[in-house]
Structure formats: C-alpha cells, structure tokens
Structure 1
Amino acid sequence: MKSSLKSWCAATSAVAALALALTGCANDSGSTDTASPSADAQSSAASSAPAESSPSGDMGAASLALADSSLGKIVVDGKGMTVYQFDKDTQGADSSACTGPCEDQWPAVPGGTDVTVDGVTGKTGTITGVNGESQLTLDGWPLYYFAGDKKAGDTAGQGVKDVWWVLDAAGTPIK
C-alpha cells in the first residue's frame, strides 16, 4: 500500500512539473500589439535574437549596409542580419510600439554613439527603446531583428501579419 501511494505521489509530481514547464512555453496570443509570425515562421523562431545579431554590450558603434536578397537590395546590420520596420510604430516618434511579447520575436537593433553606413542613404538616428537601451532608427523608423532569422541574409520576417517589412537603402519598406 505504501509503495502504491509513493508511486502515485511521484507520478502526480511529475505531471505537475510538466504542466508548469509547458505553461512557461505558452504564447499569449491575446495581445493585439504582438505581431506573431506565421505558423511556419513561429515553429522555427527562437525566443530571442539570433546569436549573430545579439548586442555584444559595446554600444559605441552600430553599422548598416545593403545586401542582395530575393527582395532586392535590403538593409542589414554589420553582420549581415536583416533589419525590419514595424508599421505600428510612428515615424519620428521617440518610442517603440513593439512592447511585451512583441519584443521577444522582434528585438530592437541596438543603437550606438557612432553609426557607420555602407550604401544606406536614409538618415540614421536613435531612440530610447522599451528596454531603456538605445535603439537604432532609419528615416525615423525604429529598427528590429526577427528572431526567426537564423543567419545573415534570412528574411523570414518579411510581411509577417502585414506589418513587418525589410527596408530599401532610403529606409522605405519593401512591401
């Protein structure tokens, strides 16, 4: 009888632990500010920026350049990672509209005190992002990475929910 009770307690504990772990993985789909990726993109997306695009902690310099893609020449960061513009942002505003769960899928492109550009003609600047860090802007639009982009040149975030866009040299969304 004692072994049956121990087995039942162990099984119940395992189920409870599994339920808690899965709850932590749940996606809050009720938020209207979150631009969740399509099912295909979401299944391959990580919950943070790819390692290639993660800020190194050195916010002294930022870099933008142009790269060839199936969408034409697009703006990328210094490591070749695609950057995106969010239609729910306001051009020229001093804050980002991508907050809460949106930040997990669309991390801000870090700004810096010195921005270098190669082929990019739009005006660069910075805002204070929702995390309190400097966020790079192009032509007045805050810039973001997409967590589903795994390597330089990926454009998996293009057109997600019809509000996320890659940019041309002037900072104009390519739709």
Structure 2
Amino acid sequence: MTATVRGTVVRRAAVLPVLLAAVAALTACGSPVDEGPKLELSGAATTLQLRPSFYGATLADGTGHTLYQFDADRGGSPTCADACANAWRPYIATGEPTSTDGNKNSLDDAQIGTVTRADGRQQVSYAGHPLYYFSGDAAPGDPDRVDDIRGAGLVQYGGTWNAVSGSGAAVKPNGAVVAPS
C-alpha cells in the first residue's frame, strides 16, 4: 500500500514540471490582456458620455468604457458587493460627476449624481441607477464589435446587467446573449 501511495506521489510530482512549463509557454505567447478599467480610476475625471456601441448609443465613462446598470439595484441603492464587485466594478466618483458629451441634448446633466455604497464611497449614478463596469469587457474602441460591451444582458448575481441609454433606460441586446469566453 505504501508503494502505491509513493507511486502516485511520484507521478504527480513528474506532471508538475510539465504543467508549469505549459503555463509559462502560454503566458509568454500572445499579447497582454486588457482587464478593463480598475475598480477606481484614480486621478481620472469623473465624467459621462454617450458613445456608439454594438447595441446603439450607450453610456460610458470619459475614456469610453461602457457603463452598466443592475436591475437588482432598487431605489438607487447599489447591491453589488464582494465577489459581485470584482466582476462588476462600481464606477467610483473621484470628484463631482459631469457630462463630457459634445451633444448637450443627449445626456441630462440633472440625471448625473452619486449614491453612497455600504463602504462609504460615492458611486456614480445616472437616472437613479448606480453605474458599473464589466470586468470582461475589452478596451473601448470599435463600436461595431461586441467585445467592448460583453456584459449586456448577462444574468449574474441575482439580476440582469444592461448598458444604459441617454434617457437612463436599459439598452438590451437584440439577440441571444453569448457569455464572454
């Protein structure tokens, strides 16, 4: 019985270097992955804009990252915390949120505000909805690709996530939602 256990340990130990080499090879090839915006954009102005996306005009921060609302947030109170906030990062205000949209008729400045999170930080809101980033989104860029708005229509953490229109309404996908790989 002891020989079998040792044999198993030896086999596992022999596989470990192979696995480590495979991980190193995968890490070394390819380009770096954009993990999306960080939880807080320190030093960045807290701004909102509308930008074209795969699903139409959607709300974004000043750098063009898509922002989402969570239908489980009721009464303007953010409910996404802990593991949820790692996947759906709150847009934390670093100052008074404003519109940077060139077309002043597309965003209603009176709808821009903040809500207080359980940890005391101020989260940017629009039309009463706390705003979040999706960690699975690619960098902003091509409005005709779904890569920069992967979170639209996903059902996670007890609710549905949608991009936001200039009126504050949910921008829902036109077809089936494919979870990011």
The TM tier, using the shorter chain, reads 0.5 to 0.7
Q: Give, in whole Å, the separation in 2 of the partners of 1:51 and 1:157.
A: 12
Alignment partner, residue 93 of structure 2: 111
Is the contact between residue 125 and residue 131 of structure 2 (CA under 8 Å) also seen in structure 1? yes
Aligned in 2, Cα 1:102/1:8: closer, same or farther, shift over 3 Å?
same
Task: Report runs of 4+ in structure 1 exceeding 6 Å deviation.
Answer: 5-15
Alignment of 1:46-61 (within 5 A): 50-58=35-43, 61=45
Aligned in 2, Cα 1:51/1:79: closer, same or farther, shift over 3 Å?
same
Is the contact between residue 53 and residue 81 of structure 1 (CA under 8 Å) also seen in structure 2? no
SS state of the match for residue 166, structure 2? coil
Is the contact between residue 69 and residue 131 of structure 2 (CA under 8 Å) also seen in structure 1? yes
SS state of the match for residue 85, structure 2? helix
Alignment of 1:85-124 (within 5 A): 85-93=69-77, 96-117=78-99, 118=101, 119-121=106-108, 123-124=111-112
Is the contact between residue 109 and residue 144 of structure 1 (CA under 8 Å) also seen in structure 2? yes
How much has 1:171 moved relative to structure 2? 1.4
User: Which of 82, 104, 108 is 2:66 aligned to?
Assistant: 82
CA deviation string 1:23-60 (max 9, x = no partner) = xxxxxxxxxxxxxxxxxxxxxxx9xx93545524337x
Cα-Cα RMSD: 3.2
Identity %: 31
Gaps of 5+ in 2: 16-32, 142-147, 173-181
Gaps of 5+ in 1: 16-45
Structure with greater Cα Rg = 2
Is the contact between residue 98 and residue 112 of structure 2 (CA under 8 Å) also seen in structure 1? no
Number of equivalenced pairs: 139
